[in-house]
């Protein structure tokens, strides 16, 4: 060992020791913070499925590759980081000796070949990612950059380190080539040999380059250890457990479909026995999120995919799913010293820690602990109320997140506390909630008018109780029973089912609201009241039938989602289909035959709760494909990337006062296709898009109509008028 090697060995050991010590301290802090969260025993079951999903999403990059160029580049960088860690390890042998290498595998040509090409592709990949970040700098006009609000220096730092480590790897190999100490042939390591041809035969160059490579790597470790909220770096390690512990490991979107039940101490809250002084009602403090929620916040990569797809952010609202998560993350870690010292408020608002416990807590942590979780700028709140109430729960953020953060669950948990304990929510939504409690529907229409849509039909609509011989229970829903435009869909579906010979029955006045708007706004109490009533009614209607024969068809995706995905939490197990699924089946089996194609150009708007939340993309398109002339014209944002109409998350009953109206943005996109008909599969979407079309003054040129009505016009063109006839809401 020469003098150069002695120096490089000592320096490498010293910087590594510092980095390891800081890394252990940082990991310990992160684990301690995450463990502050509430228990969630649902995250540990089905380990085989969880492992399979985690490997598919990490090694297979199944979510990242939805953005093909970025996904491919990131895959090569990820693989390079993992595999080329062996080259960092090898550098510790090279600082000791210019001829050093990894034991056992160091001389294998296959090892040299694989690491060479991973290094080459890694350089290309990180170059692409750097170019994308530079091209999408936050200083772009408006909100077009998905990196707006991200901590840009951290991204630049991480990418620069990756590039530098890869380059130093080739320099080490180049010096070995130049000094004739390289074991691999040119055909296996062409770039290394090309670099070596340009370098001098400096014997100590290998050890010096290895020291520089180790130093760069350890500086990276030191920097991220001193910045535990540096998600752009820490996600390399946290993504694996965060994906493993996702809510539904086999689902396309972990936080889509059903909401998490309202939990207290790791158990679903029972309102009959709940006590606000002993049980947690929603989330009022950051430590009241589950440990998985705190892991979510820690894992955020700040990539901004969620932000780029969010309808609120894209129309000038203050909500960015990314910035919301980052605010919660920064607040959790800033407050952590206070919490770890034993601080915190109990459910009555009393401080749990003694003065002695808090005596040595940093004053900044104490100040952070005084911030309300929800509050405006004047009160110093972590999350502004306008941010919380801008969410439509469309799920675009969850769909796009590459590390499976469950944004919607966290937003609704915060809403639950605001509604149930603080009674703080947009005032206009209070009318909707009172109508749900008093009338059983958000419009406040009389219950005895639920069957008015049946008037004028040329066939009898059977009621449950009057007949036991029905295959499907037709869940009409509140919109389908009371809202004029939605009544047309209800009548069209009933007419088509009758035409196809499908036996069905309705609950009529026995039906009440599914509870979706109450649950999404955060009023879990009203949701459970309505849901339990419906579950009891439905169980009675299906008494004696196995689940496979407890079939429900619904025209509203919100009802479809609630009945099919959430009623199981309350003892209601049913087979629920959307009307477009049933109609597609009836057309495919020849029970419905389109005879007159609908012309004029048709585009289809994917409802969030049908498409993204429940993955029903194909059936509506199959129905339209059978009924229209020519091909369906797709909007730029369609299927899983469909843009929200603005009505979800109970936004249907709240005013949209900030920024551009979401429905107008979507209508402009629909009109840009040139289609004269905008087909929908949701009564909320129908209302919002119709209002948007009328607001643009295009009511004479563009029609918004349900998929069922399009099919009816093709199957029974001579009877369309009678089937779509409707009666205004009274009372």
Q: Which residues lie across from 575 on neighbouring strands?
A: 551
- Dihedral pair phi/psi, residue 275, rounded to 5°: -130, 115
Task: Measure CA of the first residue to CA of the last residue in the chain; give whole Å.
Answer: 95
Structure token pair of residue 371:
């911030």
pLDDT at 615: 95
Q: If you average pLDDT over every residue of the chain, what do you get?
A: 92
Structure token pair of residue 574:
């049913």
Rg (CA), the chain: 30
Mean pLDDT computed over 536-548: 92
- C-alpha 652/C-alpha 655 separation (Å) is 8
Helix (H) or strand (E) holding 38: none
Residues in the chain: 731
Which of the four pLDDT bands, split at 50, 70 and 90, describes residue 729? very low
pLDDT at 253: 66
Which of the four pLDDT bands, split at 50, 70 and 90, describes residue 465? confident
- Ramachandran area for residue 663 (φ above 0: left; ψ -120 to 50: alpha; else beta): alpha
* Closest of 625, 638, 633 to residue 580, by C-alpha: 625
pLDDT at 348: 84
- Ramachandran area for residue 309 (φ above 0: left; ψ -120 to 50: alpha; else beta): alpha
- 98 Cβ contact list (under 8 Å, min separation 6): 5, 175, 176, 179, 181, 203, 204, 205, 206, 207
Tell me the percentage of the chain whose pLDDT exceeds 70: 98
- C-alpha 495/C-alpha 691 separation (Å) is 26
- DSSP state, residue 547: G
Residue 630 has pLDDT above 90, yes or no: no
- 336 Cβ contact list (under 8 Å, min separation 6): 29, 32, 33, 36, 365
Instruction: State pLDDT tens for residues 257-309.
Output: 999 999 999 999 988 888 888 899 999 999 999 999 999 999 999 999 999 99
Structure token pair of residue 606:
């994917």
- C-alpha 423/C-alpha 428 separation (Å) is 13
Q: Is 633 helix (H, G, I), strand (E, B) or coil?
A: strand
Mean pLDDT computed over 557-569: 96
Residue 620 has pLDDT above 80, yes or no: yes
Residue 491 has pLDDT above 60, yes or no: yes
Residue 644 has pLDDT above 90, yes or no: yes
- Dihedral pair phi/psi, residue 196, rounded to 5°: -60, -35
Q: Is 503 helix (H, G, I), strand (E, B) or coil?
A: coil
- C-alpha 362/C-alpha 355 separation (Å) is 13
- Tracing tokens 């005013």 back to the chain, one arrives at 655
Mean pLDDT computed over 634-654: 95
Structure token pair of residue 616:
């029903």
- C-alpha 188/C-alpha 116 separation (Å) is 8
Instruction: State pLDDT tens for residues 180-238.
Output: 988 899 999 999 999 999 999 898 999 999 999 999 999 999 999 999 999 999 999 99
- Ramachandran area for residue 590 (φ above 0: left; ψ -120 to 50: alpha; else beta): left
Which of the four pLDDT bands, split at 50, 70 and 90, describes residue 731? very low
pLDDT at 730: 35
Instruction: State pLDDT tens for residues 356-394.
Output: 999 999 999 999 999 999 999 999 999 999 999 999 999
Q: Which of 129-138, 268-277, 698-707 has the lowest mean pLDDT?
A: 268-277
The alpha carbon torsion through 256, 258, 262, 264 (nearest 10 deg) reads -70
* Closest of 561, 543, 548 to residue 607, by C-alpha: 561
pLDDT at 721: 53
Q: Which residue has better confidence, 45 or 527?
A: 527
Which of the four pLDDT bands, split at 50, 70 and 90, describes residue 122? very high
pLDDT at 110: 92
- C-alpha 315/C-alpha 397 separation (Å) is 15
Q: Which residue has better confidence, 669 or 278?
A: 669
Which of the four pLDDT bands, split at 50, 70 and 90, describes residue 718? confident
Tell me the percentage of the chain whose pLDDT exceeds 90: 81
Structure token pair of residue 462:
């059977």
Q: What is the DSSP string of 314-371?
A: HTT-S--HHHHHHHHHHHHHHHHHHHHTT--B-TTS-B-S-HHHHTTS-HHHHHHHTS
């Amino acid at each position: 060992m020469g003098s150069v090697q002695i120096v490089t060995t000592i320096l490498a050991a010293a910087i590594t020791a510092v980095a390891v010590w800081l890394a252990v301290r940082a990991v310990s802090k992160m684990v301690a913070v995450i463990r502050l969260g509430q228990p969630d025993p649902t995250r540990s079951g089905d380990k085989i499925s969880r492992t399979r999903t985690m490997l598919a999403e990490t090694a297979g990059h199944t979510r990242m590759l939805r953005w093909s160029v970025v996904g491919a580049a990131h895959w090569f960088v990820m693989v390079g980081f993992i595999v080329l860690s062996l080259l960092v390890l090898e550098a510790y042998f090279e600082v000791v000796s210019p001829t050093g290498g990894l034991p056992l595998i160091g001389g294998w040509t296959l090892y040299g070949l694989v690491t060479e090409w991973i290094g080459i592709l890694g350089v290309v990949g990180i170059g692409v990612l750097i170019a994308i970040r530079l091209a999408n700098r936050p200083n772009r006009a408006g909100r077009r950059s998905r990196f707006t609000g991200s901590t840009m220096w951290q991204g630049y730092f991480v990418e620069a380190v990756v590039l530098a480590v890869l380059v130093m790897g080739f320099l080490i190999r180049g010096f070995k080539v130049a000094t004739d100490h390289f074991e691999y042939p040119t055909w296996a390591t062409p770039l290394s040999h090309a670099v070596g041809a340009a370098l001098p035969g400096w014997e100590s160059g290998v050890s010096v380059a290895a020291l520089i490579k180790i130093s760069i790597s350890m500086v990276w470790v030191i920097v991220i250890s001193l910045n535990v909220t540096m998600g752009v770096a820490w996600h390399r390690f946290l993504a694996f457990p965060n994906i493993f512990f996702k809510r539904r490991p086999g689902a396309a979107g972990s936080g889509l479909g059903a909401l998490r039940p309202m939990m207290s101490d790791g158990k679903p809250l029972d309102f009959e026995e709940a006590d606000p002084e002993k049980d947690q009602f929603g989330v009022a403090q950051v430590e009241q999120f589950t440990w998985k929620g705190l892991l979510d916040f820690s894992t955020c990569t700040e990539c901004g995919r969620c932000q780029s797809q969010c309808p609120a952010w894209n129309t000038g609202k203050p909500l960015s799913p990314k910035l919301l998560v980052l605010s919660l993350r920064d607040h959790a870690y800033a407050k952590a010293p206070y919490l770890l010292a034993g601080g915190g408020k109990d459910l009555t608002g009393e401080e749990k820690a003694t003065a002695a416990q808090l005596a040595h807590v940093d004053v900044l942590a104490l100040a952070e602990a005084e911030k309300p979780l929800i509050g405006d700028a004047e009160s110093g709140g972590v999350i502004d109320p306008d941010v919380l109430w801008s969410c439509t729960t469309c799920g675009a953020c969850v769909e796009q997140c590459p590390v499976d953060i469950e944004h919607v669950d966290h937003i609704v948990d915060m809403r639950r506390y605001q509604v149930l304990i603080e009674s703080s929510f947009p005032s206009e939504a209070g009318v909707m909630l009172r109508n749900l409690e008093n009338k059983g529907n958000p419009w406040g229409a009389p219950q005895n008018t639920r069957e008015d849509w049946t008037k004028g039909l040329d066939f009898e609509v059977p009621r449950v109780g009057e007949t036991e011989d029905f295959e499907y229970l037709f869940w009409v829903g509140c919109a389908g029973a009371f809202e004029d435009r939605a009544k047309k869909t209800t009548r069209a579906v009933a007419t088509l089912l009758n035409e196809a010979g499908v036996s069905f029955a309705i609950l009529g006045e026995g039906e009440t609201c599914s509870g979706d708007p109450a649950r999404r706004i955060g009023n879990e109490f009203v949701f459970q009241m309505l849901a339990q009533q419906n579950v009891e009614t439905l169980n009675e209607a299906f008494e004696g039938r196995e689940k496979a024969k407890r079939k429900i068809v619904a025209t509203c995706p919100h009802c479809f989602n609630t009945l099919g995905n959430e009623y199981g939490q309350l003892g209601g197990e049913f087979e629920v289909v959307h009307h477009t699924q049933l109609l597609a089946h009836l057309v495919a089996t020849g029970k419905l035959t389109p005879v007159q194609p609908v012309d004029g150009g048709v585009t289809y708007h994917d409802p969030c709760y049908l498409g993204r939340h429940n993955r029903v993309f194909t059936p509506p398109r199959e129905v339209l494909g059978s009924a229209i002339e020519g091909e369906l014209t797709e909007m730029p944002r369609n299927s899983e990337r469909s843009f929200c109409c603005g009505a979800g998350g109970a936004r249907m009953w709240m005013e949209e006062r900030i920024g551009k109206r979401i429905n107008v943005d979507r209508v402009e996109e629909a009109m840009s296709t040139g289609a004269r008909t905008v087909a929908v599969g949701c009564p909320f979407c129908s209302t919002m898009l119709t209002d948007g079309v009328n607001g643009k003054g295009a009511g004479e040129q563009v029609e918004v109509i349900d998929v069922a009505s399009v099919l009816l016009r093709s199957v029974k063109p001579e009877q369309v008028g009678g089937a779509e006839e409707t009666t205004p809401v009274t009372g």
